[in-house]
Amino acid sequence: MSQEPFAGRAANLIEDHLAAHAEIADPAVWQRAAEDCVLTRIKTMRVFGGLPRHKAPLAEEVRVKRLQDLLHLWANGCTCAVDEDLFADLLNRHRT
């Protein structure tokens, strides 16, 4: 499977979040779209040893910052980057 869709989707989410009219959009909508992007990517990744679901939940501000950082990495071509704490938080919150 090509990794380009994830890099492109990540770039679109970053642009939407940083756009001049970002205040018009609901931040919760952006966060949900970013989480969906990450969850979709998790489903396509082969993570040896599994993901540590026992990690503590992240605060919302921390989760949003980690989403932004991970999407920046993916948009810049680092599509194999993994944030175990973020992945565990999203998996536990969404129970996929």
- Single out the residue of 20, 45, 24, 35 nearest to residue 90, CA to CA: 35
Domain boundaries, the chain: 4-94
Q: Which residues, other chains included, contact 66 with Cβ-Cβ below 8 Å and sequence gap of 6+? A: 58, 83, 85, 86
Distance in angstroms (rounded) separating the CA atoms of residues 22 and 9? 17
* pLDDT tens readout for residues 55-96: 889 999 999 999 999 999 988 888 888 898 999 999 998 875
Distance in angstroms (rounded) separating the CA atoms of residues 32 and 29? 5
pTM of the model: 0.74
Sequence letter at residue 92 = N
Dihedral-angle region of residue 2 (phi above 0 means left; psi in -120 to 50 means alpha; beta otherwise): beta
